[in-house]
């Protein structure tokens, strides 16, 4: 088999841990597999490097920040190749420009466009483990680019796709994907399998085990992803194409995201084009708007509420005040709130089961938690609540959907209709 393994910063956080990773690589190779390993920077290193650059006031998406930050993964790759050789294995490190991993030129959030697999195949042919610096690539002109936080996951899955690997193993400091954050919900259960779509929702909702882009890549190219612990041999969670049996599981997991802020524009004229006037300037500046709620109109006016990443809230307010003063006049009509958490339940079974929303709202109401905003998708329901209730709400929902019990033993939803496709 051809296996891609990806190790996060904690897994390569010291020389001892790098040696443990090396042992795993050598073991997989001795079992007869061809092995490519993608590594992150040693824990803390990326933050150290970003801190250095930030003191020199870089521009947004600055080419030179990528030059500095990419060194973290370069160091890990060289050290792991040495550690594999120390154990008697053979290994060779590869940087973005050596493979090469071609990206667009969007520094700090580049997207992989193509990967040349020839040098990696030549490496396997020589009996070497290919050790690849994650998180980075080069653009057409040879500039170093980085893929954004968690980008090494994407490198791993993209390499697996390019090589047609049998699996991409994502080694991390947790042993799989849980029904909720085990730090918040002691009874949280590790899932055996989860669909790409569910994983995508969970990742978008703040579950940090896997980067969104990585899941997208996996889904697009059908790469089976195995999220597992680098500190044990236990099977983790497989992220795979949706299977028919998955629809029987109504709710797969609960996620909380405290990283958003809420912005409200009050008494906005309810006329054609007003949404465009509000959201175009934000989009032009790369600010990602998540939930949007528009209330029913009263005497020709309406309220518009939406959420943005906390880090972009200040800039978003500035932009709105500057670009649409007619909507935000005198500041009085513009309000914001950083004190929120977005709590979500996810499951592909929602497509064929009713009653999920009702049980969610009931569970929150029973705890006296007020819901500020609601948004739904085909396989997800999200509610914005006050941040201080975040853990309480997570536990309440985990209980309400009996996620601590094996999937077959959960009680049915009230008003449930039998599973039917379409």
The continuous run of DSSP H or E covering 46 comes out as helix 45-54
Taken in order 413, 414, 419, 420, the sign of the CA dihedral is: negative
* CA 242 centroid distance within chain: 19
* Rounded (10°) CA dihedral 400, 401, 404, 407: 160
- Tell me the β-bridge partners of 133: 39
Nearer to its own copies, 42 or 225 (CB): 42
Alpha carbons 85 and 90: distance in angstroms, whole number: 5
Near its own copies by CB under 8 A: residue from 3, 12, 26, 77? 77
Near its own copies by CB under 8 A: residue from 128, 144, 170, 308? 144
The two three-digit tokens of residue 47, written as one number? 């933050």
Give the end-to-end CA distance of the chain in Å, rounded to a whole number: 37
Near its own copies by CB under 8 A: residue from 26, 35, 39, 83? 83
Site for its own copies in 3-22 (CB under 8 A): 15, 18-19
Asked if residue 188 lies in contact with residue 403, where contact means CB atoms within 8 angstroms, the answer is yes
For residue 18, the SS3 value is helix
Shortest separation between residue 86's beta carbon and its own copies, angstroms: 5
The continuous run of DSSP H or E covering 340 comes out as strand 340-346
* CA 407 centroid distance within chain: 24
Nearer to its own copies, 56 or 365 (CB): 56
Shortest separation between residue 134's beta carbon and its own copies, angstroms: 14
Nearer to its own copies, 15 or 114 (CB): 15
Shortest separation between residue 132's beta carbon and its own copies, angstroms: 12
Contacts 24+ apart (CB under 8 A), 84-88: 84/22, 84/25, 84/26, 84/129, 84/131, 86/19, 86/22, 87/19, 87/22, 87/23, 87/26, 88/26
Does 52 bind its own copies (CB under 8 A)? Our answer is: yes
For residue 6, the SS3 value is strand
Shortest separation between residue 10's beta carbon and its own copies, angstroms: 17
Q: For its own copies, what does the binding mask look like between residues 215 and 254, x meaning CB under 8 A?
A: ----------------------------------------
Does 33 bind its own copies (CB under 8 A)? Our answer is: no
Residue 243 CB neighbour total at 10 angstroms: 10
Nearer to its own copies, 79 or 194 (CB): 79
Nearer to its own copies, 74 or 195 (CB): 74
The continuous run of DSSP H or E covering 197 comes out as helix 196-204
Q: For its own copies, what does the binding mask look like between residues 89 and 128, x meaning CB under 8 A?
A: --xxx-x-xx------------------------------
Shortest separation between residue 50's beta carbon and its own copies, angstroms: 11
Nearer to its own copies, 87 or 419 (CB): 87
Nearer to its own copies, 45 or 197 (CB): 45
C-alpha angle 231-236-242 in degrees, rounded to nearest 5:
155
Residues forming contacts to its own copies in the complex (CB under 8 A) are: 15, 18-19, 49, 52-53, 55-59, 62-68, 70-71, 74-75, 77-79, 81-83, 85-86, 91-93, 95, 97-98, 142-144
């Amino acid at each position: 088999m051809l296996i891609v393994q990806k190790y996060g910063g904690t897994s390569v956080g010291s020389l001892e841990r790098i040696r443990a990773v090396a042992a795993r690589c050598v073991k997989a190779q001795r079992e007869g597999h061809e092995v490519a390993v993608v590594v992150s920077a040693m824990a803390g290193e990326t933050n150290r490097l970003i801190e250095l650059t930030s003191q020199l006031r870089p521009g947004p998406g600055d080419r030179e920040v990528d030059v500095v930050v990419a060194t973290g993964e370069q160091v890990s790759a060289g050290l792991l190749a040495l550690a594999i050789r120390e154990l008697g294995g053979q290994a060779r490190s590869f940087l973005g420009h050596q493979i090469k991993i071609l990206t667009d030129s969007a520094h700090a959030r580049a997207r992989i466009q193509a990967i040349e697999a020839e040098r990696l195949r030549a490496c396997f042919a020589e009996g070497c483990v290919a050790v690849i610096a994650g998180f980075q690539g080069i653009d057409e002109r040879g500039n170093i680019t980085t893929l954004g936080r968690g980008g090494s996951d994407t490198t791993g899955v993209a390499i697996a796709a390019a090589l047609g690997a049998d699996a991409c193993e994502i080694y991390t400091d947790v042993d799989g994907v849980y029904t909720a954050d085990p730090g918040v919900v002691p009874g949280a259960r590790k899932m055996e399998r989860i669909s790409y779509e569910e994983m995508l929702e969970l990742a978008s909702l703040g579950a940090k085990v896997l980067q969104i882009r990585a899941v997208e890549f996996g889904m697009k190219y059908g790469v089976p992803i195995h999220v597992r612990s680098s500190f044990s041999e236990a099977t983790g969670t497989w992220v795979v194409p949706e299977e028919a049996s998955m629809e029987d599981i109504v709710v797969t997991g609960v996620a909380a995201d405290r990283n958003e802020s809420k912005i409200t524009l009050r008494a906005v004229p309810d006329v054609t084009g007003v949404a465009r006037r509000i959201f175009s300037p934000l989009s032009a500046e790369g600010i990602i708007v998540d939930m949007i709620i528009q209330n029913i109109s009263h005497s020709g006016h309406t309220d518009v509420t939406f959420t943005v990443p906390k880090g972009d809230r200040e800039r978003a307010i500035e932009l709105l005040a500057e670009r649409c003063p007619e909507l935000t006049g005198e500041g009085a009509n513009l309000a914001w709130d950083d004190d929120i958490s977005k709590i979500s339940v996810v499951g592909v079974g929602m497509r064929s089961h009713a009653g999920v929303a009702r049980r969610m709202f009931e569970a929150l109401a029973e705890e006296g938690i007020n819901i500020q905003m609601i948004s739904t998708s085909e396989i997800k329901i999200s509610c914005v609540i006050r941040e201080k209730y975040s853990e309480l709400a997570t536990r309440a929902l985990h209980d309400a959907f009996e996620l601590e019990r094996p999937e077959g033993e959960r009680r049915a939803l009230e008003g449930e209709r039998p599973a039917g496709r379409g």
